[in-house]
A and B are shown apart, each in its own frame.
Chain A
Amino acid sequence: MLNRMLRSRYLPAFLMLAAMLALPYVLPSTYYLRVASMVFVFALAAMGLNLLLGLAGQVSLGHAGFMGVGAYAVAIGPTHLGVPAIPSALAGVALSCLLAYLMGRPILKLKGYYLAVATLGCGLLISMVLTNEAQWTGGPDGMGVPRLVLFDAPVRGVQTWYYVCGVALVIGMVLAINLTFSPTGRALRAIRDSEVAARVVGIDVARQKLFVFVLSAAYAAVAGSLLAFVNGHITPDSTSGFLRSIELITMVVLGGTGAVLGPVAGAAILVILPQALTVFHDYEHMILGLVMMACMIALRQGLVPALTARFRERTA
Chain B
Amino acid sequence: MVGRILGSVAIAATLVAGGWSGARAEEIRIGSVVSSTGPASLLGDPQKRTLEMLVEDINAKGGIKGNKLKLVLYDDGGDANAARTFATRLAEEDKVAVVIGGSTTGTTMAMAPVFEDAEIPFMSFAGAIQVIKPVRKWVFKTPHTDLMACEKIFTDLNARKLSKVAFLSGTDGFGKSMRDQCVAAAPKFGIEVVHEETYGPRDADMTPQLTNIKNKAGVQAIIIPGIGQGPAIGVRNYKQLAIAVPLYVSHGVASKEFIALAGEGAEGVRLPAAALLLGEKLAADDPQRPVVLDYTKAYEKKTGQPVSGFGGFAYDGFMIVAEAMKRAPSNKPAAIRDEIEKTKGFVGVDGIYNMSPQDHMGLDLSGFRMVEIRKGDWVAVP
Contact = CB atoms under 8 A, between A and B. Distances in A.
Contact of B106 (A227, A235, A274, A284): A235
Interface stretch (B20-28, B80-88, B337-345, B358-366): B80-88
Interface stretch (B171-179, B240-248, B283-291, B293-301): B171-179
Given A132-B171, A141-B173, A233-B109, A238 B81 contact: yes
A34 B88 contact: yes
Nearest to B37: A285
B79 interface: yes
Given A30-B92, A233-B80, A233-B84, A141 B128 contact: yes
B78 A237 contact: yes
Of the candidates A234, A237, A243, A284, the one having the most CB atoms from chain B within 10 angstroms of its own CB is A237
Interface string A263-292: 000000000001100100000110000000
A90 to B, nearest CB: 23
B82 A141 contact: no
Interface in A123-150: 131-132, 134, 139-142, 144
B106 A140 contact: yes
B81 A141 contact: no
B115 interface: no
A87 interface: no
Contact of A141 (B75, B92, B104): B104
Contacts of B130: 141
A167 interface: no
Nearest to A247: B79
Nearest to A285: B37
B80 A232 contact: no
A38 B85 contact: yes
A141 B109 contact: yes
B39 to A, nearest CB: 8
Interface residues of A, number: 30
Contacts of B85: 34-35, 38, 275
Interface in A204-257: 227, 231-235, 237-239, 243
Nearest to B84: A231
Contacts of A139: 173, 176-177
A134 B80 contact: no
A295 interface: no
A99 interface: no
Interface in B55-101: 74-75, 78-82, 84-85, 88-89, 91-93
A132 B198 CA distance: 11
B84 A144 contact: no
Contacts, number: 77
B308 interface: no
Interface string A94-129: 000000000000000000000000000000000000
A131 B84 CA distance: 20
A29 B112 CA distance: 20
B81 A231 contact: yes
Contacts of A11: none
Contacts of B180: 134
Interface string A45-61: 00000000000000000
A139 B89 CA distance: 27
Nearest to A30: B92
A237 B80 contact: yes
Contacts of A278: 74
B88 A142 contact: no
A235 B176 contact: no
Nearest to B201: A140
Interface string A7-47: 00000000000000000000001110011001000000000
A168 interface: no
A276 to B, nearest CB: 11
A140 B92 contact: no
A144 B109 contact: yes
A233 B92 CA distance: 19
15 contacts: A34-B85, A34-B88, A35-B85, A131-B171, A139-B173, A139-B177, A141-B105, A141-B130, A141-B176, A141-B177, A144-B109, A231-B80, A232-B110, A237-B79, A238-B79
Given A31-B93, A34-B85, A284-B75, 13 more contacts: A30-B92, A34-B88, A34-B92, A134-B176, A141-B109, A141-B128, A142-B80, A142-B110, A232-B113, A233-B84, A235-B80, A237-B106, A238-B110
Closest A-B pairs by Cβ, 3 of them: A140-B173, A31-B92, A238-B80
Interface of A: 29-31, 34-35, 38, 131-132, 134, 139-142, 144, 158, 227, 231-235, 237-239, 243, 274-275, 278, 284-285
